[in-house]
Structure 1
Amino acid sequence: MTSAPSQPAAEASGCPFHRAGEPAPNGCPVSSQAAAFDPFDRPYQLDPAEALRWSRDQEPVFWSPRLGYWVVSRYDDIKAIFRDNHTFSPSIALEKITPPSDEALAVLKRYDYGMHRTLVNEDEPAHMARRRELLDAFTPEALEAHAPMVRRLVRERLDAIIDRGRADLVAELFWEVPLTVALHFLGVPEEDMEQLRRFSVAHTLNTWGRPSPAQQVEVAEGVGRFWQYSGEVLRRMQARPNGHGWMHDMIAKNREKPDVVTDSYLHSMMMAIIVAAHETTALATANAFRQLLSRPAVWAELCANPALIPAAAEECLRHSGSVVAWRRIATREVAVGGVTIPEGGRILMVTASANHDPRHFENPDELDIYRDNAVDHLTFGYGSHQCMGKNLGRLEMRIFLEEFTRRLPHLELEEQTFTFLPNTSFRGPEALRVRWDPARNPERRDPAVRNAQRDFPIGAPESRAIVRRVRVTRAAPEAEGILGVTLADPAGGRLPAGSPGAHLDLVLPNGETRKYSLCGPADSGDWRLAVLREPEGRGGSRWVHETVTEGLALEVRGPRNHFRLDEGAERYLLIAGGIGITPIIAMADRLKALGKPYELHYAGRGRDTMAFLGRLERDHGAALRLYPRAEGARLDLATLLAEPREGSLIYACGPERLLDALARQTRHWPEGSLHVEHFSAEGTALDPEREHAFQVALADSDLTLEVPRDRTLLQTLRAAGIDVPSDCEEGLCGSCQVAVLDGEVDHRDKVLTASEREGQDRLMTCCSRARGKRLVLAL
């Protein structure tokens, strides 16, 4: 939406809506919902994502008068802010969100409190210079060494309660274990745990909470003691030059490079990391167990299939992560989501809301342990300020889940009211009471269960390992050469709905996968596919036609959607060729439900080879145009697309010749009018005999990597520990796109438009390469 011409000031400022109310700093009126927003109210404290649903739908960037911040709620906007830490400075990330009282400041002064910049709130170039010096302890190889210690701590504390039958998991495991792990990792002596717990709470309230004046003084006392304590511990550690742990590494760096790792920086990091390495993991683990145990069927599925534990932990981090918001300040006037934020504007990025954005995640409000893009969540941040300790937190959460699902699969939540420490940015229940019947403990029947652990690789879960079991409930012809297949949950539950354009990856017996679009209806609770038998194909469709029958168990991944329907257009042209009707019919269903004007043009060899004709004529007859070639009918694209239609979008799927023709016939349409889905990845495969090696410089990470002729750019990035999401890895989906800052790209994908390729500002890492000897990427 744009402002009305009658309000040029608001229009110039980027005002995206037009309502009465107190004006924002850019002159735009503030809506009633934005004016009422208060992150300390009960709705946000209980469920930040739900509290901002209205914002994701209506006002993804708004001014909050009560908070004095611009609030950003959508995934793409927040990710863009994270990526540009020059325009969006992190310097206020640890600023007190509630200004301290004079009495509280006096208390802090008495303790000589002097918290300086840390990795969290430091600007460039100082941030990357320090970060590079401190990364070695966070490599997968280094973190692997901590796994036995984490396992021992979890097992000891579980041993202490396993025969009791009741426990508060927060008090007895989830708080103490991450704290002990954090101290071990830092090299800090294990003492005064309860005091450290109080320190962490005080620090959280001091920075992100809204304490009363009396509470401010009490909190300041806790923060002051925390500062004093951490300084004493640091001095003892400096006196032991041969100690082990991350803080000892920093102390050594302080001696080697005192201008980079300064004395004041050591003290600030000591205090900050005790909180960061401990509290976020403790809260995230409590959130995960609360969500999983509140869904007994999901918990049972995880117990039965522990290979899903890494995926389940990641999905819990997405669905209910412990970090729900971060803050930035604009260093210049800048547009975010169509709204102009003035220089100096403070920004609250609610990552919990972004993690529930349906524009990026299918069925985002559902906890789906089979979700294969959960790793895209923003709970760890993104870009150069992404959490360095993310893989240590993952390691701890996975070990907690593995021990409990193996040793207490019959665990249940007790009835309770969950409470949370009131603040804007960190969230987890203060208690988590559970019960179980000790007589049913598996290790009473088989003592070997106690030690029969399963370990997982350090790092993000591999999407290809996240496989869902389904059962075929129908396999019948939809047309000549086309088999209709309906899939259901073997346990009788409802499968997650797929949005229009979504597809499944069907896993074949040889481990290969084939992609098949979901045909709808979206609310059926099952998944419906239509598979064309292709005699000249790679064998997947032949296997489906010859093997898939009712009752057969299959494995799938997804649903995923790289052909997403933009529901904001005024009208639509839907064009399908042959089996390309599969995603298009789902889009037609959705547009009809929305009441949007659309035309559906469907071409095929003959009616006997065209799937879903009966359903199409019944449900979409008024909008349907059929072009069976056997009857002399022809889809005349030149005539259909001769005149661009204002406010219209085109969605098409079919053979490559149809998509190529569409690209030619829509060159005079506005950029972005045509959206297509390709069937094949011809021309995207790596051919080492034809390739050349090249260098890639990662601007945000200050790394330079060599991409050999026999490896893709994506493979090279992952080998260096750089997280890049991907899906098809054939240049069809766009998941692995990264920004290009310099260099000429050899584009090989089927995603970018001609003008996007000419811009040379992005590439797909799975297939595209450098034309020359070097590329510079924003990674």
Structure 2
Amino acid sequence: MQGPTGCPVSHNAAAFDPFEGPYQVDPAEALRWSREEEPVFWSPKLGYWVVTRYDDVKEIFRDNQTFSPSIALEKITPPSDEAVETLKRYDYGMNRTLVNEDEPAHMERRRALMHSFTLEELEHHAPMVRRLTREYVDRIIDKGEADLVDEMLWEIPLTVALHFLGVPEEDMDTLREYSIAHTVNTWGRPSPEEQVAVAEAVGKFWQYAGKVLEKMRQNPDGHGWMKYAIRRQAELPDVVTDSYLHSMMMAGIVAAHETTAHATANMLRLLLENRAVWEDICENPSLIPNAVEECLRYSGSVAAWRRITVNDTQVGEHFIPAGSKLLIVSASANHDGRHFENPDDLDIYRDNATDHLTFGYGAHQCMGKNLARMEMRIFLEEFTRRLPHMAIVPQEFTFVPNTSFRGPEHLWVRWDPARNPERADPSILERVQDFEIGAPSKHDAARTVRVSEVVQEADDVIRLTLEDPRGRPLPRWSPGAHIDVIVGDYTRKYSLCGDPDDTHRLQVAILKEAEGRGGSRFIHDTVKPGMTIRMRGPKNHFRLDEGADRYVLIAGGIGITPILAMADRLKALGKDYQLHYSGRSRSTMGLLERIERDHGPRLTLHPGDEGKRLDLPALIGSCGDAQVYSCGPERLLSALEELTAHCPDRLHVEHFTATETTLDPTREIGFDVDLTDTELTVHVAPDETLLHALRAVGVDVPSDCEEGLCGTCEVPVVEGDVDHRDKVLTGAERAENTRMMTCCSRSRGGKLTLRL
């Protein structure tokens, strides 16, 4: 069998059916073969190209000029003649919406209607969400068993959606009845007989939505997105048209309702099936924002979107002709190990969980994402506080068959009402955890670990061994990874130097820095075996490329920690490597006994007091085409950058001295930033970072250190003169001017254009 471009269709591609079987149960697992072997394939059953890897899916979301969203709401199953006639009887005229509209109309309307989605406006809805959630939990709290979908999760997001839109109370019940039909009509595969019944419901939904809209026109004052849109229509009649309002009225109910209902059901099922994770959240509610984000990544409610190519293009290694339809599977992209460490682990401490593509990306990213986050956080907070002993009932989960929206139709849970915490302590009802609207803060996702061992490795160098207090496995890590160690008021980054195959212990070596900011001294003075501390990570911004033939590893002082992990890995792989380790004296060089034992034949020591200083020019001059990895003092790394300026791609370094990130408004300048993907212009004031300004308008940029050290907040630069202040980019990379770190770098003058 051949695809439309003449390429052969593999067995797996020919068998792929998104309407039944494995894809409906677990889209990411069903497409594991594709991520690993065939990331872009033609599906004969669907008549679409299917795209499954993270980078490809994100690039398609980003480029809405080449990959038009115009088919996003097109019926994926061609309607029968009877269904078409049924819809005609109701004058069904669903038009373009924010989901499926091309530029420039899309962004013009998005800008016009964005006000209701700002963080400040969304704050007003939090009390209503909290009140509704409490009322529904009150109804079931003493029952001991409930189907959370039927009795709560389906109802609350719909009520919130209708309130958000401004729908009158008396019309809410009728609109509830029609909502699900729209999903089946657009993304499902109903039989010819079912299509007529679905079309009847959709037609009634359309007509009733129009009547409610007319009622709202009579009194457009007050809260509600549709009422705001009606007021904006008076100002911009050519932008906010009648047909557009009618279509958005109907589409908005579905978008705000079903996605959040499904996402919440997926989240609760996932957490209750992973009991240890659930218990962590019950004990520490500050984990909730990141837990919600990780659940959206692991099992989000939006599994896939659709696009059509406007012109001939390339996706991965495949030529895709103009007019081709694509199913871009975000559920699969969210499990791509090329972007997410240990992607099949549910890790509520994950540092880049917000990178998930469940909300889409770019100009068409979900406008209601922060409303959904708010609802899911409040649901989870109420359940973990009031029903921490709730458990999932063994059951067979079913889903409404469709390509794109996914959540269990039922979710049965059980608990013992006699153990409800509020019976013994009614004050628990008042212990409410309020969360800031928007993406979660990196500071919330910290896990507790026990210090099982403190060993003096050298003068002013100790090695800590960390374990989970309950004996659970700790996250896997790779050479170059680090963790954030949190002790008292101090948070410091330390590279891992133990055995990556030891899943129950992590090791870091810490130098007491006399001229530091006090964190390392505090850890040396206070951390003892048996005490508990907190940590974030592991995270890896200094990754080892294992594909080279030769390596030169250079460590200065405590910079040996990531370099040792790399040497261990290269030895295990049988690679050709040299290890150079310099320090003031042998007594100051940490981990020396193990290094000499494990890497003696490859090791050259450079103790300064023995006159064996490292001759960098000679070493670099003799290393040929080897890849150079180094960590150590700034003078060492700066010298290496100068010596490899003619071949910057061979040098890989990690800094552990932060750049100066404190802003002085009297010396800084404000500047504007154009965002090409979201088509927004953002002003950055003299007293704020670019990262802060982007987040303020709802652009989620991941970050970690926010000191210019890690590279997490890197964004692509299209145009402008960047004042680079980070310690991540090399001189050659700065000269290219194609990327920047938003936490610290700025404009030297004039506007910047970023690909965001």
Normalization by structure 2: what TM-score? 0.94
Output one character per residue of 1:220-242: Cα deviation in whole Å (capped at 9) or x when no partner: 23322222222222222223344
Deviation at 1:623, TM superposition (A): 4.9
- The 8 Å contact of residues 577 and 653 in structure 1, kept in 2 or not, is answered as yes
Q: Distance in 2 between matches of 1:53 and 1:592?
A: 30
- The 8 Å contact of residues 583 and 653 in structure 1, kept in 2 or not, is answered as yes
Equivalent in the alignment of 1:543: 522
Farther-moved stretch of structure 1 (446-455 vs 538-547): 446-455
Equivalent in the alignment of 1:320: 299
Change (3 A) 1:196 1:577: same
Output one character per residue of 1:227-262: Cα deviation in whole Å (capped at 9) or x when no partner: 222222222222334454111112222233221011
Output one character per residue of 1:282-316: Cα deviation in whole Å (capped at 9) or x when no partner: 01110111111112222122111112222221221
Deviation at 1:628, TM superposition (A): 4.5
Deviation at 1:688, TM superposition (A): 4.2
Paired residues, what number? 754
Equivalent in the alignment of 1:496: 475
Q: Distance in 1 between matches of 2:621 and 2:40?
A: 38
- The 8 Å contact of residues 363 and 679 in structure 2, kept in 1 or not, is answered as no
Q: Secondary structure at the match of 2:564?
A: helix
* 2:717 equivalent to 1:740: yes
Paired residue type of 1:602: H
Change (3 A) 1:600 1:420: farther
Equivalent in the alignment of 1:3: none
Match of 1:245 among 217, 224, 234: 224
Farther-moved stretch of structure 1 (235-244 vs 403-412): 235-244
* 2:405 equivalent to 1:426: yes
Q: Distance in 1 between matches of 2:263 and 2:84?
A: 31
Match of 1:374 among 353, 358, 366: 353
Q: Distance in 1 between matches of 2:5 and 2:551?
A: 35
Equivalent in the alignment of 2:75: 96
Q: Secondary structure at the match of 2:473?
A: coil
Deviation at 1:632, TM superposition (A): 5.2
Q: Distance in 2 between matches of 1:641 and 1:495?
A: 38
Change (3 A) 1:632 1:473: same
Q: Secondary structure at the match of 2:649?
A: coil
- The 8 Å contact of residues 684 and 749 in structure 1, kept in 2 or not, is answered as no
Output one character per residue of 1:484-507: Cα deviation in whole Å (capped at 9) or x when no partner: 101111222111112322211122
Deviation at 1:195, TM superposition (A): 5.7
Match of 1:348 among 320, 327, 337: 327
Farther-moved stretch of structure 1 (387-396 vs 634-643): 634-643
Deviation at 1:704, TM superposition (A): 4.0
* 2:734 equivalent to 1:757: yes
Q: Distance in 1 between matches of 2:362 and 2:57?
A: 11
Change (3 A) 1:335 1:434: same
Deviation at 1:264, TM superposition (A): 0.9
Output one character per residue of 1:402-435: Cα deviation in whole Å (capped at 9) or x when no partner: 1111111111111111111221111111111001
Farther-moved stretch of structure 1 (598-607 vs 158-167): 598-607
Q: Kindly report which structure 2 residues correspond to 1:435-584, keeping only aligned pairs within 5 A, or say none.
A: 435-510=414-489, 512-524=490-502, 525-569=504-548, 572-584=551-563
Deviation at 1:723, TM superposition (A): 2.7
**Structure 1 unaligned spans of 5+:** 1-21
Q: CA RMSD in A?
A: 2.5
* 2:125 equivalent to 1:146: yes
Q: Secondary structure at the match of 1:120?
A: coil
Equivalent in the alignment of 1:696: 673
Deviation at 1:743, TM superposition (A): 1.9
- The 8 Å contact of residues 414 and 434 in structure 1, kept in 2 or not, is answered as yes
Q: Distance in 1 between matches of 2:604 and 2:287?
A: 45
* 2:746 equivalent to 1:777: no
- The 8 Å contact of residues 582 and 614 in structure 2, kept in 1 or not, is answered as no
Deviation at 1:103, TM superposition (A): 3.1
Equivalent in the alignment of 1:665: 643
* 2:211 equivalent to 1:214: no
Output one character per residue of 1:669-716: Cα deviation in whole Å (capped at 9) or x when no partner: 3x6333221111245554445433333334455544443333322233
Q: Distance in 2 between matches of 1:692 and 1:72?
A: 43
Q: Distance in 1 between matches of 2:599 and 2:327?
A: 44
Change (3 A) 1:333 1:583: farther
Paired residue type of 2:328: M
Equivalent in the alignment of 1:223: 202
Q: Kindly report which structure 2 residues correspond to 1:587-606, keeping only aligned pairs within 5 A, or say none.
A: 587-593=566-572, 595=573, 597-605=575-583, 606=585
Amino-acid identity (%)? 65
Deviation at 1:363, TM superposition (A): 2.2
Q: Distance in 1 between matches of 2:409 and 2:546?
A: 41
Equivalent in the alignment of 1:13: none
Equivalent in the alignment of 2:369: 390
Change (3 A) 1:204 1:704: closer
Farther-moved stretch of structure 1 (81-90 vs 483-492): 81-90
Q: Secondary structure at the match of 2:295?
A: helix
Q: Distance in 1 between matches of 2:601 and 2:51?
A: 41
Q: Kindly report which structure 2 residues correspond to 1:191-202, keeping only aligned pairs within 5 A, or say none.
A: 196-197=175-176, 199-202=178-181
Change (3 A) 1:347 1:623: farther
Deviation at 1:776, TM superposition (A): 2.7
Paired residue type of 1:463: K
Q: Secondary structure at the match of 2:462?
A: strand
- The 8 Å contact of residues 693 and 773 in structure 1, kept in 2 or not, is answered as no
- The 8 Å contact of residues 180 and 190 in structure 1, kept in 2 or not, is answered as no
* 2:743 equivalent to 1:766: yes
Farther-moved stretch of structure 1 (235-244 vs 169-178): 235-244
Paired residue type of 2:749: G
